[in-house]
Amino acid sequence: MTRLLVECTHVFLHPKVNSGIQRVVRNVINQLPDSVQGVECIAVVMLKGKLYRVLQLGALGIPFFDGLMTFGGRLERLAHRFWQLHQRLDERCTSKIARRALYVAYRLTALACFSVPLRLIERVNQYQLPKRCSPLPHQPGDQLVLLDSSWHSDFFPFAEQLKRDGVGIVAVIYDLIPLTHPQFYDARLVQVFNGWFDWITRTADGYMAISATVRDQVREQLQQRLGPANAESLWFDYFHLGSELDLREANATVEPRLTRVFETPEPVFLMVSTIEPRKNHDYLLDAFERAWACGSTARLCIAGHIGWKCDALLARVRNHPQLNQRLFMFNDLSDTSLEHAYSHASALVFPSWVEGFGLPLVEAMQRGLPAMGSDIPIFREIGGEFMAYFDLAEPQRLADLIIAFERTGQFPAARDVAQWQWIGWREASAQLVERTLRNVGQTPAVQERQHANCP
């Protein structure tokens, strides 16, 4: 019997990280059905050339180990920022001697402050493995679904061996932005992602995207790389993501500074995303500055972890004359606080240049919060007539929407967000399984619940 092996290695090793892909992986795995049409579904990880069944995806709840894991995650993020700093300094160096000295200093510092401590933490964490996973022999006919962010993983040779042993490989594609818009990322990440996509192009038997928009982009890329005839032998499909914030805690308190943002009668526009270039925060600030200049009293609340290539933006926010008056920024909100923001904001604003899905849109609209977004294909796919759209060529377009909504109280979308419907994480997980199995020929088409805008 074919089994569906859904891979979640990175989230298993870093259960405290809660960015977009990690949120997707965690929710899909937690809602994974035991079986579909007689096909067993198993959450798996690949560690040091071996396959394991996941017994517990999250941390064990033992303070020492959980604290060590949290510290390790923070240390990894700090190491990445240190590497980014080295990259920026290296680009500014014109002397070969200076660049060499900078590289040696970087390597020695990284070894002492990051590499050695992280290796020690990894060894200690090995003691948790028997309680969180167990060995799982693979079988010919198994289908391995690479759900997690695998471009920085070290299991490529093992995955290739599984394929030689008769295991099918299915790649979940979140977006192709590092390929199509490399200017938004560090050169090293672009290089790593390109290497991964080259590998997945050679390795995968099928591709499951998180939107119809990305599915079409993946098919086009494969046709260019492999030729139409070879691409025709592969399959391409998509599933949509859910919307629940699964890390909310009943007894957790909302960030006090956040509650004060919503205590005044002025409308609050919420932006939720990592702080990085393609999210287009500069356009957002330009638009609100124009609205404020016209007399708007609207507030802008920016929520999101600090990402990359955002030093100038952060300086602009921190030095802004409206900071903590009409402009607010939060970089480490819990799910409980984020839920409060979604529940009390007047509208979501999302001016991204490009997205693979746009999870905050679904999270907001599912809670009845109307959304304004850039006029890009994926937002049209998700929001349809229930969203208001603006042109990224001119910030005044968004400013006009803000002012009109503030003055009239009428949200400028063709249809009321209260009529909009979407699937939850349980249905999203089932969609992934059912559509994957349908494409590998294991089950007949299953009647699925369609949300309001599903093609």
Average pLDDT of the residues of the chain: 88
Which residue range forms the structural domain that includes residue 414?
Answer: 256-419
Inform me whether the pLDDT recorded for 132 exceeds 80: yes
Inform me whether the pLDDT recorded for 91 exceeds 90: no
The mean pLDDT value for 194-210 works out to: 94
390 and 434 both lie in a single domain: no
Confidence band (pLDDT; 50, 70, 90) for 446?
very low
Q: What is the pLDDT of residues 336-360, one digit of tens each?
A: 899 999 999 999 999 999 999 988 9
The mean pLDDT value for 432-451 works out to: 69
Q: What is the pLDDT of residues 111-129, one digit of tens each?
A: 888 888 877 777 766 666 7
Inform me whether the pLDDT recorded for 241 exceeds 70: yes
CB atoms under 10 Å from CB of 338, counted, come to: 24
63 within some domain: yes
Of residues 13 and 263, the one with the higher pLDDT is 263
31 and 106 both lie in a single domain: yes
383 within some domain: yes
The upper half-sphere exposure of residue 347, i.e. CA atoms within 13 Å in the direction of its Cβ, equals 29
Percent of the chain with pLDDT over 70: 89
Q: Given this model, what pLDDT does residue 152 score?
A: 73
446 and 324 both lie in a single domain: no
248 within some domain: no
Asked whether 207 and 235 are in contact (CB, 8 A), the reply is: yes
Lowest mean pLDDT among 34-38, 73-77, 232-236, 447-451: 447-451
180 and 281 both lie in a single domain: no
CB atoms under 10 Å from CB of 441, counted, come to: 9
CATH number, domain containing residue 292: 3.40.50.2000
Q: Given this model, what pLDDT does residue 397 score?
A: 96
Inform me whether the pLDDT recorded for 455 exceeds 90: no
Is residue 270 helix, strand or coil?
A: strand
Tokens of 429: 């997980």
Lowest mean pLDDT among 84-93, 250-259, 343-352: 84-93
Q: What is the pLDDT of residues 382-401, one digit of tens each?
A: 999 999 999 999 999 999 99
Inform me whether the pLDDT recorded for 373 exceeds 60: yes
Q: CA triplet 114, 118, 123: central angle to 5 degrees? A: 160
Lowest mean pLDDT among 185-189, 387-391, 429-433: 185-189
Tokens of 287: 């638009």
Asked whether 444 and 450 are in contact (CB, 8 A), the reply is: no
Q: Which positions ≥6 away from 277 have C-beta within 8 Å?
A: 183, 184, 308, 309, 310, 353
Q: What is the pLDDT of residues 287-308, one digit of tens each?
A: 999 999 999 999 999 999 998 8
Q: Given this model, what pLDDT does residue 444 score?
A: 40
Spatial distance between the Cα atoms of 123 and 131, rounded to a whole number of angstroms: 15
Of residues 346 and 56, the one with the higher pLDDT is 346
Q: Given this model, what pLDDT does residue 158 score?
A: 93
218 within some domain: yes
The structure tokens 């939720």 sit at: 272
66 within some domain: yes
429 and 413 both lie in a single domain: no
Q: Given this model, what pLDDT does residue 44 score?
A: 96
Q: How many domains does the chain have?
A: 2
234 and 280 both lie in a single domain: no
Is residue 226 helix, strand or coil?
A: helix
Q: Given this model, what pLDDT does residue 334 score?
A: 87
CB atoms under 10 Å from CB of 431, counted, come to: 24
Inform me whether the pLDDT recorded for 246 exceeds 70: no
Which among 269, 275, 265 has a CA at the least distance from the CA of 292?
A: 269
Spatial distance between the Cα atoms of 347 and 74, rounded to a whole number of angstroms: 32
Q: Given this model, what pLDDT does residue 449 score?
A: 42
Lowest mean pLDDT among 133-142, 284-293, 355-364, 444-453: 444-453
10 and 124 both lie in a single domain: yes
Q: Name the β-bridge partners of 163.
A: none
Q: Given this model, what pLDDT does residue 69 score?
A: 61
Which among 297, 320, 289, 304 has a CA at the least distance from the CA of 398?
A: 289
Q: Which positions ≥6 away from 446 have C-beta within 8 Å?
A: 36, 37, 434, 438
434 within some domain: yes
198 and 315 both lie in a single domain: no
Q: Given this model, what pLDDT does residue 417 score?
A: 94
Asked whether 307 and 77 are in contact (CB, 8 A), the reply is: no
Q: Given this model, what pLDDT does residue 448 score?
A: 45
354 within some domain: yes
157 and 23 both lie in a single domain: yes
Q: What is the pLDDT of residues 311-341, one digit of tens each?
A: 999 999 999 999 999 999 999 888 889 999 9
310 and 436 both lie in a single domain: no
Please state, in angstroms and as integers, the Cα–Cα distance from residue 204 to each residue in 69, 171, 389, following that order.
32, 6, 36
The structure tokens 């995303």 sit at: 273
Asked whether 235 and 215 are in contact (CB, 8 A), the reply is: no
368 within some domain: yes
CATH number, domain containing residue 85: 3.40.50
Which among 6, 40, 49 has a CA at the least distance from the CA of 165?
A: 49
Q: Given this model, what pLDDT does residue 116 score?
A: 83
270 and 185 both lie in a single domain: no
300 and 233 both lie in a single domain: no
